[in-house]
Structure 1
Amino acid sequence: MAKKKFVIIDAMAMAYRAYYALMRQGLVTSKGEPTSAVYGFVTQLIRVIEETEPDILAVAFDSKEKTFRH
């Protein structure tokens, strides 16, 4: 059986990084809604996929609600 490459992304950390890295660029929609974090997140995600070429990719987000870890 061939080994598979499995990549797990911490989505909240990536979104936080993207937001603060690009907030001064002022990317907005035609209605003025900020999109810098979304643009940065997707750009980073694509880069990870291209550089690692995973067989399996998981993107994990934090939950607002309490979990078994709280």
Structure 2
Amino acid sequence: MSVIGLGAIGSMVAEQAIQLGMHVQGYDPGITVETALRLPRDIHVCKKIDDSFKGSDYVSLQFL
């Protein structure tokens, strides 16, 4: 699963997906160090949005 937007809602979606046994990768162009430290350990943060789509069967968009 790819999660685009790793703020409060995106990180909750990622956490739930991980608990369901999914491999989760995410992308957020404005991610801060503080936000990154609050993310679940099992999420892979991608540097490019295109990389987050590779291998994903599902995409979840959380951004304004």
Same fold (TM over 0.5): no
Rg larger in structure: 1
**Greater helix proportion:** 1
TM-score, with length taken from structure 2:
0.30
- TM-score w.r.t. length of structure 1: 0.28
